[in-house]
Amino acid sequence: MKRLLSAFLTLIILCSFVSLPVSAINHAPPPFADTLNSKAIYMVNTDSGEVVYEKDSQGKMYPASLTKIMTCILALEMVDDLDNETTSLKTYIQEYLYNLRVNGGVDVQTGGIYLNETLCIRDLLYAMMLQSANEAAMMVADYIGDGSIEYFCELMNAKAKEIGAKNTNFSNPSGLYDSNNYSTAYDMAKIAEYAMQNPEFVEIVTTQVYTSQPTNKQENGIQWVSTNRMQNPGNTEYYYDGLQGIKTGTLEESGSNFISTATRDGYTYLLVVMGAPLEDDTGATYAKNLAFVDTKYLYDWAFENFRVKTLMDVGDPIAEVPVRLNWDKDHVQLLASEKYQALVHNEVTSDSVQTIPELPDHVDAPIEKGEEIGYVKLMLEGQEIGRVALVAGENIEQSKALYYMDKVKSFFNTFLFKFVFVFVLVIIVLYIALMVVRNHNKRRYQSRRRKPPTKL
């Protein structure tokens, strides 16, 4: 029953990430925008592709454990058998993390995996995505990179570019701080949206508690609990109904980061918040996770204030255009060829939208009903939000008499006719001139012949 429910939930989330036509509406920021804690934010409605809010979404940020999303993507795409392909915790990984913790003073999150403990790749993915286990991420990278984490990072960066994350660079698979491990809120949204197309990824990141298979070191397996407290119904402080996944990420250098999706009343959003502070100006640690706080405020605002509305319907009369070559009709009415819907603020109606038709000067009969003639631009508060093709609302036949008259008129306006006309005219003028000169000369000649000879 639990697996059936999980599969159903996965299907719902996947369906919300279907690509649809996108309008480009610049939505007003939430009224509480100045009080948001996160340095970078990107919020998109995944049903329509509408970006409802962004804040420095292209600014360079340190993703921390959000990095593990890319590690998981590569594992799901490159490992053939997640359940039977295994790897063990190697000494160099354990020593690296130990030195960071002991000598570097870094709070390194681990998943309780022992040296030389063997786990399947699927279990390692749950360890790193739920509990943010850094050794698990490095084990996956070591396995796929054939012992070279550096090579695995090359694969990560190649995949990021393929997805469209152009301002991202990964230098490690876990997200532990490195100045060369960076991204943006926009890029992380692109990466997360890509990952959420994979049902296995969705199943992993929407799981709250997971226990691994028995290992060679722990016969009862290892249990990992998700760091995403907003999807845990047992967490009364942060739980948000409808929120699912995706990943938390926290470092001293990055602040608190969080990527999630949430669905309510048929609307689904993906939200990235990055750089929420961990301490106040005095150095005191905040009692709350401010990334979670921002997430709640933004989801509440979006769900309460935005709806998909029909701003233009099929068959709506939009404009008229002059018609030629018909005795009875001098214009044809143009109708909207399709329904236009957009995610807009609750206060927006079809009356809020200005229409600007882009039409030819005229059209010639015959015209078929449904024939496309121009388009209309939809404007909201001076901004173009979309375009809809316009079609003829009726059939208009052609008058043969007007057609042939137009052909004759058109011929008279052609370059060929004008050239021939001028050429003939010039020939006539030259001929007349020639005749005048010839006749003049002839008369002079005849006049001289009639003149009597002069007497000596």
159 carries a ligand binding annotation: no
Would you say how long the chain is, in residues? Answer: 456
**Residue in the block written with tokens 């681990």:** 110
DSSP-derived secondary structure for 247-290: EEEEETTTEEEEEEEEEETTEEEEEEEEEE-SB-TTSPBPSS-H
Q: 3-state DSSP call for residue 433? A: helix
What does residue 259 show for φ and ψ, rounded to 5 degrees? -120, 135
What residue type is assigned to position 327 of the chain?
A: W
Is it true that the peptide bond before 113 is cis, omega within 30 degrees of 0? no
d(CA 317, CA 162): 43
- What CA–CA distances, in Å, run from 271 to 183, 197, 257, 279, 290? 15, 16, 11, 23, 14
Q: Are 133 and 127 in contact (CB under 8 A)?
A: yes
CA–CA dist 433, 428 (Å, integer): 8
Question: Torsion over CA of 291, 294, 295 and 299, rounded to 10 degrees?
Answer: 180
- List, by residue number, the catalytic residues: 65, 68, 132
Distance CA 365, CA 334 (A): 14
Radius of gyration of the chain (CA): 37
> Which of 254, 272, 326 is CA-nearest to residue 40?
272
| End-to-end C-alpha distance for the chain, whole angstroms | 147
Q: Pairing state of beta strands 223-225 and 209-211?
A: antiparallel
What single string gives the DSSP state of each residue in 161-209? HHHT-TT-B-SSSS----TT-BB-HHHHHHHHHHHTTSHHHHHHHT-SE
Residue ranges of the binding site for substrate: 247
Residue ranges of the binding site: 247
